[in-house]
Amino acid sequence: MSVLYIKKLSLLFAVFFQIALFVVGGGLAMLPVIEQKFVKKYKLLSQNDLLDMISLTQIVPGLIAVNSAVYVGSKIAGFLGAVVAAIAVILPSIVIILVLALFFRDLSSSNPIIVGAFSAVRACITGVFFVTFMRLQKRVLISPLIIFIVFVLFVLLVIGLNPVVVLSGALPIGYLYYYMVQKNRLPDLLKGSK
């Protein structure tokens, strides 16, 4: 193994361990940190890689955090990178759960400190999701047709249609759109920028 490869593996472990230890709110709350570290700071991923990761982690079964770690790890350092990143993102949770299990009897859901902490975390996570959306929408909403599709799918979710049905409908629409853009069968107005 080269020194550069070992550095990539240690970077993957360190970043995903920190993410899992300090980022509260699940896999989607990790997105700004992954973007900051791997896209902006170290330039090991592109914005398109990040968008692909978001799409894949939403449709592949499993935890979003682990799926994200596996995707980023494999992009940066292949199979071993995926394994290292997955272990790094799982390890803090195991340790925290074991420590909490020691004090589980003393924890109460009516404790005002615990209730207040979870309320603050929910508000913070909402802000993180909004900021992530604002950053990524410039790369996703690239044509009037895509904006229309997003609007229709959003309305379907708001009126209560099952997300599985919405995603199942979005997959062929996205494929058809991509196929039509690649074959130059859409008017320029509907293609958007790449």
Specify the pTM. 0.69
* Stretch 31-54: mean pLDDT: 91
User: Confidence class of residue 1 from pLDDT cuts 50, 70 and 90?
Assistant: confident
Q: What are phi and psi of 109, to 5 degrees?
A: -75, -10
In Å, what is the CA distance from 119 to each residue of 88, 114, 122, 123, 148?
27, 9, 5, 6, 34
Dist. CA 65–CA 53, nearest whole Å = 11
Per-residue confidence band for 139, with pLDDT thresholds at 50, 70 and 90: confident
pLDDT band, residue 136 (cuts 50/70/90): confident
Reported confidence tier of residue 187, pLDDT bands at 50, 70, 90: low
* Mean pLDDT, residues 51-55: 86
157 pLDDT exceeds 80?
Answer: yes
- Give per-residue pLDDT as tens, 72-125: 999 999 999 999 999 999 999 898 888 877 776 666 667 777 778 778 877 877
Residue 178, pLDDT score: 78
Task: Give pLDDT, residue 104.
Answer: 66
Tell me the pLDDT of the chain averaged across its residues. 84
